[in-house]
Structure formats: C-alpha cells, structure tokens
C-alpha cells in the first residue's frame, strides 16, 4: 500500500469492491459524504444511503481493478478503473473514472463516478 493517504484510500476502495468489504467502504467515507454514481443521477447523501448503494453493488457480484494511474491533486484523487458485474452469468463490464474529494482527515466527502451507456459492454 502507498504511504500517501489519498492513494492508499483508492487502493483500499478498489480492493474492498472486489472483496465486498463493507467495513472498509464505510470507513473510507465521511458521515455526511455525497455519492453521485453515475454523474447526473440523484446524489446519495450520508453514510446510510451510501452503504445501501454498495450493498446493491455487492449483491451483483461486483469486482474492480485499476485501469491506469491514479491522479492526485490538492484534496482530489481521480482514477480509471474497470467494474465487472455478474461474473460468469452474463457479465457486464463498465469502464469508469471516479473522482474522490477528501476532507482534512482523508475521508471521502464526495465521490463522482463518470460513466455512461457507451462505457458498458456485456460478455
């Protein structure tokens, strides 16, 4: 893991998506965080709403892997990654770019996921 706390958070996030580790996901977010996935959808506000979002993702058999370098600037991390859903059962792949905004405690206060229909493929 990286010593940079923002890079470490991204690495933990990707790992937690694949291992379905809600404790890690919950710990990464600030209590009042806002999640917009995908950008343009209704934002989810607060940890309870965010947990429900990830519960649905975990139930779909989600896995994730980085697909390029993480960009860090100021209190932001931006990174490309691949999400796969329903492995072995009509798998869907989504190419995503996420933006995390961190507070001074290195907790995610805003997450925006950039992807659309053109970024989705099925096996």
Please tell me the distance from the alpha carbon of residue 123 to that of residue 121, in angstroms, as a whole number: 7
Enumerate the active-site residues: 13, 37
Query: Following DSSP, what letter does each residue of 5-47 receive, concatenated?
Result: HHHHHHHHHHHHHHHT-HHHHHHHEEEEEEEESSBTBPPEESH
Q: At 100, which helix (H) or strand (E)? A: strand 92-102
Please tell me the distance from the alpha carbon of residue 53 to that of residue 75, in angstroms, as a whole number: 24
Name the token pair of 5.
């706390």
């Amino acid at each position: 893991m990286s010593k940079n706390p923002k890079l470490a958070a991204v690495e933990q996030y990707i790992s937690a998506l694949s291992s379905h580790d809600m404790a890690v996901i919950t710990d990464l977010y600030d209590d009042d965080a806002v999640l917009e996935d995908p950008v343009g959808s209704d934002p989810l506000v607060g940890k309870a709403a965010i947990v429900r979002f990830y519960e649905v993702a975990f139930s779909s058999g989600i896995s994730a892997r980085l697909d390029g370098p993480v960009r860090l600037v100021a209190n932001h991390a931006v990174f490309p990654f691949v999400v796969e859903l329903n492995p072995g059962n009509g798998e869907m792949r989504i190419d995503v770019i996420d933006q995390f905004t961190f507070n001074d405690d290195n907790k995610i206060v805003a997450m925006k996921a950039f992807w659309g229909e053109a970024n989705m493929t099925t096996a």
